[in-house]
Amino acid sequence: MKNALNVVELFAGVGGFRLGLEKANSDVFKTVWANQWEPSRKTQDAYDCYTRNFNSGIHSNEDITTVPDEVFQKLNIDLLVGGFPCQDYSVARTLSNEKGLEGKKGVLFWEIKRVLENSHPKYVLLENVDRLLKSPSKQRGRDFAIMLATFRDLNYIVEWRVVNAAEYGCAQKRRRVFIFAYKNTLDFAEKQLDYNSHDIVFKEGFFANTFSVKQEPYKERISTVTLPEDIVEISDEFSFSFHTAGVMVNGNVYTAQTIVENEKFIPLKDILVEEVTVDEKYYLTPAQVEKFTYLRGPKKIERTSAEGHKYIFSEGGMSPTDDLNGPGRTMLTSEASVNRSTHIVEIDGRKRFLTPIECERLNSFPDNWTAGMPERMRYFCMGNALVVDLIKQMGLTILDIEVNEHITSEQIMLML
């Protein structure tokens, strides 16, 4: 490897992106600036966790919208990473300039756009919930199309893939969409343009080389579309069904539903701590056992809508406890509270919650990564976190790309 890659991490949380990249190669991936700020909270637990675990680079605990453009212009960013909220990305013309665009206020994707406009990194790696591909429900695909068009207008090629961590060697059934964008002036881009879109998605692309798939789509689900040049037109009129994988080059979209080639996972039993170390407070009381029996059982309940109509709410049953021989289910921010989605394990005839350390392991964080914050927040932060080892695998692919790359971020800036 020739040089270190300067990384900027937005919406950093407790540092999953940074940790994964450093697991791939801490000598190459150097996080020079990271932002984590939780609005409307007096305590900044995630930021405090980040600063406890990382001691290099600049750590920003401020509203990202208030950070001046000049900060990003001076950082010489090679790789921008972040897990950003799924929001409404609609846009409109500004009143003062018919060519200007105005996105909805408070939408954090526009901050990603602002960073890109002011730094033009070679690579971008983002994470979001998989429903992003279908939002909003009344105009499916619009929001993701706006994102793709934004990258197109900034001279990026984009690949995406919905990845279930439990299908690629991890301990949790966590489905998230990952987006990898790279400047169309890179050596890697020139190489990719020698392939057709099908080959990029199934054999030669970033995700195909990181998370292998079968060479044919699921039930022949392949679609193509060309994005309108005008983002306002996309916002007002565009609708399209994006599949779980795809590539966008110069506004031309190819998308397909891929199939995992060799599924493998870590069973839940392998991430459990030794039972002798589990505090009694994690074991269910008789009243909690009874409550979970009800919550996880089948039910039909008569309810009344806001308009006064009566209807029957139905819910199928689920196993009283989680299968220790399978991967964990998707962990939510409400983990370890008394609700249907909480994991319950049964060992030696006793039922209990997962401990905070076990939740960290579900996301492939080191033990006690979140120690030091209130326990409720430890569960909350892990429910929000990504699976670190997926980022490690993607980081290794970025390293493979960078080895053959001769164009630097500084040269990209000179081209603009």
Per-residue pLDDT averaged across 43-47, rounded? 96
What local confidence, expressed as pLDDT, does residue 101 receive? Answer: 57
Let me know how long the chain is: 416
Quickly count: other Cβ atoms within 10 Å of residue 186's Cβ.
Answer: 22
Within this chain, domains 5-263+387-415 and 268-384 share the same CATH topology:
no
DSSP 122-154: SEEEEEEEGGGGG-STTSTTHHHHHHHHHHHHT
Per-residue pLDDT averaged across 279-301, rounded? 95
pLDDT tens, residue by residue, 150-168: 999 999 999 999 999 999 9
Task: Pick one of 3.40.50.150, 3.40.50.720, 3.40.50.2300, 3.40.50.620 as the CATH number of 5-263+387-415.
Answer: 3.40.50.150
Query: What does pTM read for this prediction?
Result: 0.95
Q: What Rg, from alpha-carbon coordinates, does the chain have? A: 22
pLDDT tens, residue by residue, 175-225: 999 999 999 999 999 999 999 999 999 999 999 999 999 999 999 999 999
What is the overall mean pLDDT for the chain? 94
Band (98; pLDDT cuts 50, 70, 90): low
Order of all β-strands in the sheet with 252-256: 58-60, 29-35, 5-10, 79-83, 123-129, 175-183, 156-164, 245-249, 252-256, 222-226
Q: Is the pLDDT of residue 297 over 90?
A: yes
What local confidence, expressed as pLDDT, does residue 403 receive? Answer: 95
The one-letter amino acid code at 231 reads I
Q: Is the pLDDT of residue 43 over 80?
A: yes
Fold classification of 268-384 is DNA Methylase; Chain A, domain 2 (3.90.120)
Q: State yes or no: cis peptide before 85, omega within 30 of 0.
A: no
Nearest of 370, 366, 321, 368 to residue 342 by alpha carbon: 321
The domain locations on the chain are: 5-263+387-415, 268-384
Q: Is the pLDDT of residue 256 over 90?
A: yes
Q: Is the pLDDT of residue 106 over 80?
A: no
Catalytic residue IDs: 86
Cβ atoms 87, 108 nearer than 8 A: yes
What local confidence, expressed as pLDDT, does residue 230 receive? Answer: 93
What local confidence, expressed as pLDDT, does residue 107 receive? Answer: 85
Q: Is the pLDDT of residue 381 over 70?
A: yes
CA 234/CA 93 separation, integer angstroms: 12
Cβ atoms 136, 142 nearer than 8 A: yes
How many Cα atoms are found within 13 Å in the side-chain-facing hemisphere of 154?
26
Cβ atoms 145, 234 nearer than 8 A: yes
Band (129; pLDDT cuts 50, 70, 90): very high
pLDDT tens, residue by residue, 329-377: 999 999 999 999 999 999 999 999 999 999 999 999 999 999 999 999 9
CA 48/CA 36 separation, integer angstroms: 9
What local confidence, expressed as pLDDT, does residue 94 receive? Answer: 67
- What do you get for the CA distance between the two ends of the chain, in Å? 26
Q: Which two tokens stand for residue 342?
A: 């909480």
SS3 224: strand
Quickly count: other Cβ atoms within 10 Å of residue 280's Cβ.
Answer: 6
What local confidence, expressed as pLDDT, does residue 177 receive? Answer: 97
Contacts of 338 (CB under 8 A, 6+ apart): 288, 291, 292, 295
How many Cα atoms are found within 13 Å in the side-chain-facing hemisphere of 118?
16
Q: Which long-range contacts (CB under 8 A, 24 or more apart) does 315-321 make?
A: 320/292, 320/293, 320/296, 320/344, 320/346, 321/345, 321/346, 321/351
Band (85; pLDDT cuts 50, 70, 90): confident
What local confidence, expressed as pLDDT, does residue 347 receive? Answer: 96
